[in-house]
Amino acid sequence: MQLAIPKLGLYVYSIAAIEIAESNGLDSTSLNMDMASAIRSGRLVVRDPFNGAISQVDHMMDNPSPYVSPSDVNTWLSKEGRSYRWTPGKKRRITTMKAFLLDCFKMGIDKNIESVWIHIKANAGKNGFLFVAAGQSSAVFEVEEEKGKEEIKKKRITKSALSKTLARLINQQNH
């Protein structure tokens, strides 16, 4: 699964939650749950990743990480009476890894690097999976860097770097 489709201006909602939380000193897990609830109830619009059209809420059952646009998220934030807004940031690698880890947690994968790495190695290269290749100590994923550009870049992350991101995320969730 691609966590961002910049040419359509779409992002997996967990990326929005992480970026909004980090920009405003909020708890990303709590905001992630608020957004999921808003999606299920139809208060937050989700988009089709192929054409950007508004998608049906029941489509969320087929896609546990639906896509949202910044304008739809900001409309929802406004209707909720929240003072902050979302402008997608440039710290895409960190945000991408946090969003991936949150998706792992939702799937019931244990919150430890060995379990996450087994998941990555077992699914690397499969259609729709973030990672295209994985070895013992590093994995490669693809990201579209900027809106309007169709260039996909391959990035590498080491197991130890992902372990540090996982530890920080768990620490944030426990506070």
> What are the start-end ranges of the H helices in the chain?
13-24, 28-41, 70-79, 92-106, 113-123, 159-173
Q: How many Å apart are CA 43 and CA 23, to the nearest integer?
A: 23
Check pLDDT > 60 for residue 92. no
Mean pLDDT of 92-98: 69
pTM above 0.85, yes or no: no
Residues 129-163 as b or e (16 or more Cβ within 10 Å = b):
bbbeebeeeebbbebbeeeeeeeeeeeebebeebe
Q: Of 17-21, 47-51, 101-105, 143-147, where does mean pLDDT reach its minimum? A: 143-147
- Report the length, in residues, of the chain: 175
- Tens of pLDDT, residue by residue over 113-141, are 999 999 999 999 887 788 889 999 999 98
